[in-house]
Amino acid sequence: MKNIKILGPGCKRCQATEDMIRAEAGKLGVDMTIEKVTDYAAMAQFGVMSTPAVVIDGKVVHAGGLPKQEDIGKWLGA
Amino acid sequence: MATRSTAPSPWRRSASAWSMGLIVTLIAWFAIYRQLQPFSNWAAAHLPIQPGTSLAEAVSFFLYDTAKVLMLLTLVVFAMGVVRTWFSPERTRAILTGRREGFGNVVAAGLGIFTPFCSCSAVPLFVGFVSAGIPLGVTFSFLIAAPMINEVALGLLFALLGWKVALTYLAFGLSIAIVAGWVIGRLHLEGWLESWVRDLRTAPVDLEAQRLSLVDRFEAGWDAVRDIVGRVWIWIIAGIAAGAFIHGYVPAELLSRIMGQGAWWSVPAAVLLGIPMYSNAAGIIPVVEALLGKGAALGTVLAFMMSVIALSLPEMIILRKVLSIRLILVFIGVVATGILAVGFLFNALFA
């Protein structure tokens, strides 16, 4: 079970990122929980400066802009 | 089942296909661009409007400017989107960490031009800089330069008003960012940050270095076009409509009396008017172009433009999460003073 956090103030692209990850996880049949982090202090704890950012199991894998579909597949597969 | 959407189609991946496509698109771009004026005249003539009237003139100006600005914007945003793949907020922070005030302000303002920035990520960026130990003044230099001097503003100024105006805007924008940041640093206002920001110390995150191919960079440029042009076109239309109205209806003598070189009070008025107004560069530049065409003074108009872009109320509200009201007021005060100085200086120099 993967724990995925999406860091961002709730902009359009944060939602798009979440949708992309949900779709990809559904396709690959990966078990996961998605959590949205909108609190700036919590975001800063991860050291992230550009949003949306993606954290998987406590590790920052992406920051700034929409992730690429093939990257999402890699994160979920690993 | 995953092959359909995850496997990239081969032509999209190939650098030669991208290059060929770019060349063809550029040629088509220039060919269309040269025909814009005749085409918009033709289109305006076929609308049910009496030719030769103010309305016809405004409509023709509107059609021509909309097409022109959108085409230029697309080109500039694509080029800058590609260039920006060599910069990132994380890398900028690494460069700025350990810089002293003074030289640090200069570097921060310079990096502000190239680092990808949007006001929605102003807070994480601010927090990231300050928590890494970058001085407050240096952080502000970056935060002032990043929204004010951007590819949209410079590209459109260059295209619509010439390289002299664009360079002037660049030079003055950089000076304001450097000096205002330095002044804020000298005031030692660290105590006026919200306390959670002050106490935060973070280790920089080490993202796995993403190796980008040329195709990745081109795709980033195209993404920037879809994102930015998709977001600002409505502002552009609004700005051009306002510009077309000024072009067709506002009498030149009235405007040059209000915004001309003779009226010293027009510069502070322009700055004050600009603070609550919020638009981005793409929306304000068509207005600037129309105002200049009617005899407004360049210093006054540039001051107005800088005030609208650099001092925006929505951004202040976002920054309120990390800055106290007092610090925001100091920020507005220092930047507004800088813009005033630029406006007066410019009107005096080109009188």
> pLDDT band at B120, cuts 50/70/90?
low
Size of interface A-B (CB pairs under 8 A): 75
Q: Residue B196: closest CA among chain A residues belongs to which residue?
A: A41
Task: Record the tokens describing residue B103, joined without a space.
Answer: 């030289």
Instruction: Please give the full DSSP string across B231-245, using - where no structure is assigned.
Output: HHHHHHHHHHHHHHH
A14: annotated active-site residue: yes
Q: What is the mean pLDDT of chain B?
A: 81
Q: Which of B125, B200, B321 sits opposite A49 (nearest CB)?
A: B125
Q: What percent of chain B has pLDDT over 90?
A: 9
Pairwise pLDDT comparison (A41 vs B225), residue with the higher score: B225
Distance CA B67, CA B174 (A): 30
The CATH number of residue A46's host domain is 3.40.30.10
Question: Do the Cβ atoms of B128 and A48 come closer than 8 Å?
Answer: yes
Judge whether A11 counts as a catalytic residue: yes
> In this predicted structure, what is the pLDDT of residue B340?
92
pLDDT of B206: 59
Query: Is residue B40 a contact partner of residue B64, using CB atoms and an 8 Å limit?
Result: yes
Closest by Cβ to A47, choosing from B1, B88, B204: B204
pTM: 0.78
Q: How far, in whole angstroms, is CA B18 from its chain's centroid?
A: 28
Q: Would you call A60 and B205 a contact, using CB atoms and an 8 Å cutoff?
A: yes
Q: How confident is the model at residue B169 (pLDDT cuts 50, 70, 90)?
A: confident
Which of A3, A11, A57, A68 is catalytic? The answer is A11
Helix (H) or strand (E) holding A19: helix A12-28
Mean pLDDT of B309-324: 82
Residue B4 has pLDDT above 60, yes or no: no
pLDDT for B141 equals 92
| pLDDT at residue B146 greater than cutoff 60 | yes
A60:B207 CB<8 A: yes
Per the structure, the count of domains in chain A is 1
Is pLDDT at B182 greater than 90 in this prediction? Answer: yes
Residues from chain A contacting residue B8 (CB–CB below 8 Å): 70
- Interface residues of B toward A, Cβ cutoff 8 Å, are 1-2, 5-6, 8, 88-90, 93, 116, 120-121, 123-125, 127-129, 131, 196, 200, 202-205, 207-208, 223, 321-322
ipTM strictly over 0.85?
no
Q: Which helix (H) or strand (E) holds A35?
A: strand A32-37
**Confidence band, pLDDT 50/70/90 cuts, at residue B13:** low
Question: Using one digit for the tens of pLDDT, what is the confidence trace for B195-247?
Answer: 777 777 666 555 655 667 788 888 888 888 888 888 888 888 888 888 888 87
Of A27, A45, A49, Cβ closest to residue B89:
A49
Position with higher pLDDT, B140 vs B5: B140
Alpha carbons A43 and A50: distance in angstroms, whole number: 10
**Option in A9, A50, A62 nearest B89 (CB):** A50
pLDDT beyond 80 at B159:
no
What pLDDT, on a 0 to 100 scale, did the predictor assign at position B6? Answer: 43
At B208 the pLDDT is 54
Averaged pLDDT for residues B257-279: 79
Contact across the interface for B89 and A44, Cβ inside 8 Å: no
Cβ-proximal residues to B4 (8 Å cutoff; 6+ apart), any chain:
none
Percent of residues, chain B, with pLDDT higher than 70: 91
pLDDT over threshold 80, residue A78: no
| Amino acid letter for position A65 | G
Q: Which of B239, B218, B80 is nearest to B150 (CA)?
A: B80
Per the CB < 8 A criterion, the answer to whether B324 and B195 are in contact is no
Eight-class DSSP state of B226:
I
How far is residue B283's CA from residue B285's CA, in Å, rounded to a whole number? Answer: 6
- Mean local confidence (pLDDT), B63-87: 85
Contacts 24+ apart (CB under 8 A), B234-239: B235/B279, B235/B280, B235/B282, B235/B283, B236/B66, B236/B69, B236/B70, B236/B73, B236/B282, B236/B283, B236/B286, B237/B66, B238/B279, B238/B283, B239/B279, B239/B282, B239/B283, B239/B284, B239/B285, B239/B286, B239/B287
Q: What is the band of B176 on the pLDDT scale with cuts at 50, 70, 90?
A: very high
Find which of B86, B199, B207 to mutate to test the A interface (most A CBs within 10 Å of its CB).
Answer: B207
More reliable by pLDDT, B236 or B52? B236
B317: pLDDT strictly greater than 50: yes
Catalytic residue among A6, A7, A14, A43: A14
Range of the structural domain that residue A33 is part of: 2-77
Identify residues of A whose CB sits under 8 angstroms from chain B CBs: 9, 11, 27-28, 40-41, 43-51, 60-66, 69-70, 73
- Angle (CA) B199-B205-B206 rounded to 5° is 160
